[in-house]
Amino acid sequence: MSRFHPRRAAVREAAAVAVGVVIGLMVAPSLGLAAALLAGWAALALVDVVWVVAVIWPMNASETRTHAQIEDPGRRVARLVAVVGSVASLGAVVVVLLQTHGAAPATSFALAGIAVVAVAASWALIQVDYLLRYARIYYGRPGGGIDFNQEEPPAYTDFAYFSLGLGMTYQVADTNVTRGEIRRIVIAQTLLAYLFGAVILATVINLVTSLG
């Protein structure tokens, strides 16, 4: 099967769900339902992120164009699941962090660790989703919308640079956005990134204070 075939995405999602279910079932008996759901989601997100990055990272500009232009019927559903699941996981993080209070030190550390990993994995999943989205828009119609200030067409690594820069600094660096559609997407991404950055910081602070 070609690495550009849409069925590969279905295989990836099925594998991610399977890993998430297994991890959740392993965690549930000792740490409870909320922690199990959060751990399962974290595993699902990490598998998805690692798989996607492993596939797209070696692609050159021509391969990036071909891959980005593929019509995948499940793309929008996958994006919706990524965003809704990531935001919903924040609720589970609150529940899990509440469980750390009064718990044994080892249990408290495990719960807080799951919370940190889950939020970080959700953040990474969102950045990868936006990376793919920018590439699809750039190589779609009418195309363009981001000036990378280079002669050669952009590859996925260039879109990763753009997306991760927004996810970590909440601003465009040395690239120029030239289309309103992409500006609106940039706003949504930076708001989500800021939300998850704040939650990661709060979770780490909670972890430090609970173990102090």
108 within a domain of the structure (yes/no): yes
User: Residue 71 has what pLDDT?
Assistant: 63
1 within a domain of the structure (yes/no): no
pLDDT over 80 (residue 97):
no
Cβ(42)–Cβ(114) below 8 Å = yes
pLDDT over 60 (residue 33):
yes
User: Residue 5 has what pLDDT?
Assistant: 57
**What distance in Å separates the CA atoms of residue 100 and residue 120, rounded to the nearest whole number?**
19
2 within a domain of the structure (yes/no): no
73 within a domain of the structure (yes/no): yes
189 within a domain of the structure (yes/no): yes
* pTM of structure: 0.88
Q: Who's near 172: CB < 8 A, 6+ residues apart?
A: 162, 165, 166, 186
| Percent of the chain topping pLDDT 70 | 92
**What distance in Å separates the CA atoms of residue 182 and residue 69, rounded to the nearest whole number?**
17
78 within a domain of the structure (yes/no): yes
User: Residue 52 has what pLDDT?
Assistant: 93
Task: Provide mean pLDDT across the span 117-136.
Answer: 92
Query: Which residue segment(s) compose the domain that 79 sits in?
Result: 7-211
Cβ(149)–Cβ(176) below 8 Å = yes
CB atoms within 10 A of CB 19: 16
**What distance in Å separates the CA atoms of residue 164 and residue 33, rounded to the nearest whole number?**
32
**What distance in Å separates the CA atoms of residue 45 and residue 43, rounded to the nearest whole number?**
5
Domain total of the chain: 1
pLDDT, one tens digit per residue, over 138-178 is: 999 888 999 999 999 999 999 999 999 999 988 888 899 99
User: Residue 100 has what pLDDT?
Assistant: 78
